[in-house]
Amino acid sequence: MHLASYLGVARTTWYSHADPIAIPLKSQDDVKDEQTKVSLLDLSKQVTPPCRLNPLIFNGHVQTCWTAIKGLDIPITYKRRIFISNSTTYPGTFAVDFVGPTPETAPEPDVSLPQRTTYYTEDEFKLMGSDDDKPMLIMLHGLSGGSHEIYLRHVLRPLCLEDGGWEACVVNARGCAQSKITSGVLYNARATWDVRQMVDWCREKWPRRKLFGIGFSLGGNILTNYLGEEGAKCKLDAAVIVSNPWNLEVSNLALQRSWIGLHVYARVMGTGMKQLFEDHFEQITKGNPDIDIEKVRSARYLHEFDRYVQCPTWGWPTEGAYYRDASSVEPLLAIRIPVLAIHAEDDPIAVNEAVPHEEIKQSRHVVLCSTSLGGHLSWFEIGGERWFSRSACAFLQKMANEADLEALKKQREIPEPETTTSHKKPVVYDPIRRKLLIPDVA
């Protein structure tokens, strides 16, 4: 290990297209000359602070495991609303937690909800719409997580509490964050229908707001899939992806190769999903007769859970087929909004070998910031803050406050050339073609 790594100073490497998209900036004066533009890569570099981490939390394993140690308390208050899915293929409900103002007195705790979370009353919910132009952040959490996760709150604090200018919500995956399942199925790694409905709802409810997305870990994979499926018609203005496992098959095989990967990470994640299964046992098993309950309960690792629950639920023949089909490597090539991806090379869960460096070099809309240290959703600095939060927030603030988003949308209307062969036209490569066909998004 390099001396700088022992001191907590991480090396930062950038990956991008040779000609990334140009971000038009708002005019700083009344001059109507040619608009100032900056490349997505240069903009990302300008706002990203040096990565200097706590030298005592010295590698990816320690960084990742440190998240389990009680640290800073960030008192985010949420108001929950249950949405009825508009998907005809996967109906049901899902819970969205909106960041609300911190009350002067703590509300009466509701044991059926996560800490500091209460339901909207009907009257409160009816008053939500407005014509304001605040920036709005839509968040997707990691595997078996939810709005209560501390890594989300590290991003919400500077945007919603300290700055005070942002609004935000967390789309909880079905069954997560003490939400109920009414559809008979959990979520999977390419379950994009709920976030799609939420983005559409926010755009209708707040037509002038600037909409942004951020996804963490598996939520990053889902968000990347969503962005690729939407392509140029995406209603988000920009997004951030943190610790995405990208190629799920590669990431899962890497976990199984080492003792700590299999018996710590894969086991902890498998236990978390099994707990969700038990929490919603009646709803899941009632609608899924092909699930072998005894095999699920005997499973120890995440890939076994996926084999015994996700495969019979969704129709994939093996967990490998599921991982290959749900990965977000190819969909990133169809993304048409500015995206900053953040990754640590020593991440023991979203492993470096699964990161699609070459695909990112082919996308003009995605830039990857890769650090030599940081672990999974960690990047702990001295004092307990997280570097990824400062980087993500700086990018989002830059896009919200200085980028000319209307001009950027007009750029999106110009179609990009398709990837075709020269000798077998009209053969066309489609980055979002899937093997598991879903009528709602096909």
* pLDDT tens per residue, range 377-407: 999 999 999 999 999 999 999 999 999 999 9
Element housing 13 (H / E): strand 12-15
Residue 120 pLDDT greater than 60, yes or no: yes
* pLDDT tens per residue, range 176-198: 999 999 988 889 999 999 999 99
* pLDDT tens per residue, range 122-148: 999 999 988 999 999 999 999 999 999
Q: Report pTM.
A: 0.95
Catalytic residue among 148, 154, 280, 376: 376
- Would residue 217 show up in a list of annotated catalytic residues for this protein? yes
Residue 20 pLDDT greater than 50, yes or no: yes
* 417 is a domain residue: no
Residue 261: predicted pLDDT? 98
Percent with pLDDT over 90 in the chain? 82
Please compute, for residue 404, the number of CA atoms within 13 A of its CA located in the half-sphere on the CB side. Answer: 15
Residue 306 pLDDT greater than 80, yes or no: yes
Catalytic residue among 303, 343, 347, 363: 347
Residue 442: predicted pLDDT? 44
Res. 114 pLDDT band, cuts 50 70 90: very high
Strand pairing partners for 241? Answer: 215, 341
CA angle at residue 161 from 155 to 166, to 5 degrees? 75
Mean pLDDT of 3-8: 68
Res. 415 pLDDT band, cuts 50 70 90: confident
Residue whose token pair is 């790594």: 5
Residue 1: predicted pLDDT? 54
Residue 427 pLDDT greater than 70, yes or no: yes
Mean pLDDT of 423-427: 63
Residue 3 pLDDT greater than 60, yes or no: no
- Would residue 347 show up in a list of annotated catalytic residues for this protein? yes
Roughly how many angstroms between the first and final C-alpha of the chain, as a whole number? Answer: 47
Q: Which of 57-71, 201-215, 312-326, 367-381 has the lowest mean pLDDT?
A: 57-71
* pLDDT tens per residue, range 226-279: 999 999 999 999 999 999 999 999 999 999 999 999 999 999 999 999 999 999
* 150 is a domain residue: yes
Residue 5 pLDDT greater than 70, yes or no: no
Of the ranges 91-105, 384-398, 402-416, 421-435, which is most confident? 384-398
Residue 37: predicted pLDDT? 95
- Would residue 29 show up in a list of annotated catalytic residues for this protein? no
Domain holding 11, by residue range, is 3-247+327-412
Residue 73: predicted pLDDT? 86
Residue 174 pLDDT greater than 90, yes or no: yes
* 212 is a domain residue: yes
CA angle at residue 352 from 346 to 358, to 5 degrees? 145
* 428 is a domain residue: no
Element housing 80 (H / E): strand 77-84
3-state helix, strand, coil in the chain (%, to 5): 40, 15, 45
Residue 107 pLDDT greater than 80, yes or no: no
- Asked if residues 375 and 61 have their Cβ atoms less than 8 Å apart, the reply is yes
* 284 is a domain residue: no
Catalytic residue among 217, 327, 328, 363: 217
Mean pLDDT of 29-47: 82
CATH number of the domain encompassing residue 66: 3.40.50.1820
* 147 is a domain residue: yes
Amino acid letter, residue 228 = G
Mean pLDDT of 3-21: 88
Please compute, for residue 172, the number of CA atoms within 13 A of its CA located in the half-sphere on the CB side. Answer: 30
* 319 is a domain residue: no
Q: Which of 109-113, 114-118, 167-171 has the lowest mean pLDDT?
A: 109-113
Residue 418 pLDDT greater than 90, yes or no: no
Domain count, the chain: 1
* 264 is a domain residue: no
Report strand pairing: 238-242 vs 117-119: unpaired
